[in-house]
Amino acid sequence: MKLRPRNREPALHDRLVWQAASLLLAYPDDGLTERLDTVESLLAHLDGTVAELLGRTVAALRTAEPMAAAMDYVATFDMRRRATMYLTYWTAGDTRNRGREMLAFATAYREAGVEPPRSEAPDHLSVVLEFAATVAPGAGRRLLTEHRVPIDVLRSALADAASPYEHTVAAVCETLPAATDQEVRRAQRLAEAGPPAEAVGLQPFTLTVPPRREERAPDV
């Protein structure tokens, strides 16, 4: 029997969405087919808008040639900083501030009893989603809600690029409180200005998604 989204066991419903989204937003390496199979098994327990949105991304990745899928991922997330999945790019204006905000993610993970993964930065959306889905739903929901504006900016950038990943980010947004007018205006300002360009790393709970590529390409 399918779960009723947002009214019956909403916490479990959202965790299923977050796990599916984490897998779909991972770099499409040789494990892509297996991850898509896992996502489809999760979709069997979802219905409504989120199932339809996640299913769109699954269908697009199913039909894409492996090399084309990899190239599209790089072009989407590595060559456009406005489509970055590193959430602190949007909330910190300099290296010191971003390092402090990344530390806040790492601290949340440690307080939940796990170490942040060594293979990816703690503020990467896929990492946060997997943490929320599999480790600490309450703490994970708080991190996602606090970064609703960056997530909305990412969704908008992906929509502008006609990316199939936009549907997945939109499904994540469905699990979060509606954005306020003030948050919408802030997202619009951030989208126009773009995130800062500097990169700061931190260094594990074990991810089931592969790390994003190390290379960073300039904004276009």
Compute φ and ψ for 155, nearest 5 degrees: -60, -45
Mean pLDDT of 157-174: 96
- Is residue 98 assigned to a domain? yes
Beta strands in the chain (DSSP E): none
Q: Is the pLDDT of residue 35 over 50?
A: yes
Q: How many CA atoms lie within 13 A of 152 on its CB side?
A: 23
Mean pLDDT of 199-218: 50
**Structural tokens at position 20:** 């599916």
- Is residue 4 assigned to a domain? no
pLDDT recorded at residue 159: 95
Beta bridge partners of 86: 124
- Is residue 41 assigned to a domain? yes
Q: What is the pLDDT of residues 170-202, one digit of tens each?
A: 999 999 987 666 666 766 666 666 555 544 443
- Is residue 144 assigned to a domain? yes
Q: What is the CATH number of the domain that holds 134?
A: 1.10.3480
Q: Is the pLDDT of residue 42 over 80?
A: yes
**Structural tokens at position 154:** 């990412």
Residue closest to 109 by CA, chosen among 203, 209, 176: 203
> For residues 175 and 106, what is the distance between their CA atoms, to the nearest angstrom?
23
Compute φ and ψ for 103, nearest 5 degrees: -60, -35
> For residues 118 and 116, what is the distance between their CA atoms, to the nearest angstrom?
6
Domain count, the chain: 1
Place of tokens 């949007």: 90
- Determine how many CB atoms are found less than 10 A away from the CB of residue 30: 8
Per the prediction, the chain carries an average pLDDT of 83
What sign for the dihedral angle of Cα 91, 94, 97, 99?
positive
- Determine how many CB atoms are found less than 10 A away from the CB of residue 49: 13
Inter-CA distances, 184 with 73, 81, 129, 178, Å? 26, 19, 22, 10
What share of the chain has pLDDT > 90, as a percent? 57
Phi/psi zone of residue 113: left (φ > 0), alpha (ψ -120 to 50 degrees), beta?
left
Count of residues in the chain: 220
Cβ atoms of residues 44 and 2 within 8 Å: yes
- Is residue 104 assigned to a domain? yes
- Is residue 56 assigned to a domain? yes
- Is residue 2 assigned to a domain? no
Q: Which domain holds residue 34?
A: 9-193
- Is residue 198 assigned to a domain? no
Q: What is the pLDDT of residues 90-103, one digit of tens each?
A: 776 555 677 888 89
